[in-house]
Chains A and B, each alone.
Chain A
Amino acid sequence: MTLGVMIIDLAKGMLTSIEIFLLTLVFSQPLGLLVSLGRMSKNRIVSTVIKAYIAVMRGTPLMLQLIVVYFAPFYIFGFNLTGFRFPAIIIAFSINYAAYFAEIYRGGIEAIPKEQYEAAEVLGYTRAQTFFRIILPQVVKIVLPSVTNEIITLVKDTSLAFVLAQAEMFTIAKQIAAKEASVGPLMVAGVFYFIFNFVVAFVMERIEKKLDYY
């Protein structure tokens, strides 16, 4: 196999990796915000359930979570798993990353002094207005560096989808490597991940700069 063909094959896999990456971000960010609010809830039952969820998500391997999410419907309900592979991957990644994002958001939300809430209250802001106009924009700025860290990890974690034999870049790299008996494809995949993250870091840095207006 020529290097050119290999790169094209890997690039195709990369598209799937990017898809996993983007969908996970789209779902896990808002879900993470909800989870963080649940974690801080004054309702004991809610906060305990959320705490347990976060503990499981952070305490067990993502690879295992992928397997559980994919096979659970079959073992528990006897569902046919045709076509469920990709959705299972997105669900597993999203609920896993939501747990990490939730803890990052919680840190950010708790860093906002309570006087900000009081000032808004006295000025007649409703609770929703206070959260979305006063608190959240400040939280975003605080948490951005930590979020960037997680996002970069996510780029590399997309390779874990190989465990469900999803044809993303790492799965393909492994297949070619096995067929050709060479580590070359894995090295090339490594370069691809690096470039991917280089772009991610660049974009996040731009966003950070843009938020540096105050």
Chain B
Amino acid sequence: MSEDKVLEIKNIRKSFDGNEVLKDVSLSVASGEVVSIIGPSGSGKSTILRCATLLERMDGGILKYKDDIAASDESGHMVYADKKELKRIRRYFGLVFQSFNLFPHYTVHKNITEPVILSGQCDAKQAGERATELLERLGLEDKAEAYPGSLSGGQKQRVSIARALAMKPEILFFDEPTSALDPELTGEVLKVIKGLAAEHMTMVIVTHAMKFAREVSDRIIFLENGVIHSQGTPEELFNSNDERLNSFIGKLEE
């Protein structure tokens, strides 16, 4: 059933200045699956996403989208696919950042349409229609001509989700999508992600929102010190007897 796997990460290792942040982590994500990654700060959660989205080069391991190998160390040393191939592989995924990273000098509409047009997926008219449709779905239809600076954090994050979705990725990564938001604004973003889960969008979500992770995920991974400490369905993890896991979840749920 390997063709069902959208993302396959095997034995990845990553160090920063001799500090080993990821030690041999493996993770596959099946089509339609929602995986949450939880764990304390510095456990390597975001680094996994950064390696998977090619923002960081891994030191060892295999990174594969469907049947396309982006990087592999099977030959004995780390080899990345060539530039052209990586450009193609980038089309598999989208990434929603903690700090939104919208382009401030573009309207909401242009933020969403320009990447689509530049990628050659469709012309300006079709990209515009795609943007309008997405904005309507995310309740932002009246913000199309607004600039990001005039939006609330929750609106910005919804726009950045729309921007990622407009590229029609096969898998969407979220790097702590609500961590930069006021508590009362997290709800609107989480609702959008839940909506996507209901439509069977394949997603990997790094989050500190435990209740949300429990509701939305098919599988939760608890990462600590650069290794997967435990993983399973939300029920398995939240009813686990593991002391370390319980203390982490307990700490955040209070």
Q: Which of A123, A124, A129 has the most CB of B within 10 A?
A: A123
- Interface stretch (choices A55-63, A64-72, A75-83, A132-140): A132-140
B103 touches A124 (CB 8 A): no
- Indicate whether B147 reaches chain A with its CB closer than 8 angstroms: yes
A124 touches B105 (CB 8 A): no
Known: A213-B147, A214-B147. A125 touches B105 (CB 8 A): no
Known: A129-B118, A213-B147, A214-B147. A122 touches B103 (CB 8 A): no
Q: Which of B91, B104, B105 has the most CB of A within 10 A?
A: B105
The complex places the Cα of A122 from the Cα of B119 at a distance, in Å, of: 11
Distance in Å from the Cβ of A189 to the closest Cβ of chain B? 41
Within 8 A of A (CB), among B74-92: 87, 90-91
- Indicate whether B31 reaches chain A with its CB closer than 8 angstroms: no
- Indicate whether B41 reaches chain A with its CB closer than 8 angstroms: no
A119 touches B105 (CB 8 A): no
B104 touches A138 (CB 8 A): yes
B55 touches A214 (CB 8 A): no
Chain A residues within 8 Å of B118, by CB? 124-125, 129
Known: A129-B118, A133-B114, A214-B147. A122 touches B105 (CB 8 A): no
Within 8 A of A (CB), among B138-168: 147-149, 163, 167
Distance in Å from the Cβ of B97 to the closest Cβ of chain A? 6
User: Which residue of the partner chain, among B94, B99, B104, contacts A214 with CB atoms under 8 Å?
Assistant: B104
Distance in Å from the Cβ of A133 to the closest Cβ of chain B? 7
Chain B residues within 8 Å of A19, by CB? none
Chain B residues within 8 Å of A124, by CB? 87, 90-91, 115, 118-119, 167
- Indicate whether A153 reaches chain B with its CB closer than 8 angstroms: no
The complex places the Cα of A133 from the Cα of B115 at a distance, in Å, of: 11
- Indicate whether A205 reaches chain B with its CB closer than 8 angstroms: no
The complex places the Cα of A213 from the Cα of B115 at a distance, in Å, of: 21
The complex places the Cα of A113 from the Cα of B118 at a distance, in Å, of: 22
B104 touches A115 (CB 8 A): no
Chain B residues within 8 Å of A122, by CB? 53-55, 90, 93-95
Interface string of B93-115 (1 = CB under 8 A from A): 11101010111110000000011
What is the interface size of chain B, counting residues whose CB is below 8 A from a CB of the partner?
A: 25
Distance in Å from the Cβ of A124 to the closest Cβ of chain B? 5
Q: Which bracket fits the contact residues of A?
A: 10 to 19
Chain B residues within 8 Å of A138, by CB? 104-105
- Indicate whether A141 reaches chain B with its CB closer than 8 angstroms: yes
Interface string of A82-117 (1 = CB under 8 A from B): 000000000000000000000000000000010110
User: Which residue of the partner chain, among A115, A118, A125, A137, contacts B115 with CB atoms under 8 Å?
Assistant: A125
The complex places the Cα of A123 from the Cα of B162 at a distance, in Å, of: 12
Interface string of A18-48 (1 = CB under 8 A from B): 0000000000000000000000000000000
Name the CB-closest residue of B to A137.
B105
Known: A124-B87, A213-B147. A119 touches B103 (CB 8 A): yes
A134 touches B55 (CB 8 A): no
Distance in Å from the Cβ of A126 to the closest Cβ of chain B? 8
- Indicate whether A150 reaches chain B with its CB closer than 8 angstroms: no
User: Which residue of the partner chain, among B99, B149, B163, contacts A123 with CB atoms under 8 Å?
Assistant: B163
List B residues at the A interface (Cβ < 8 Å): 53-55, 87, 90-91, 93-95, 97, 99, 101-105, 114-115, 118-119, 147-149, 163, 167
Could you list 7 examples of A-B contacts with CB < 8 Å? A118-B97, A122-B95, A123-B115, A123-B167, A133-B114, A141-B105, A214-B105
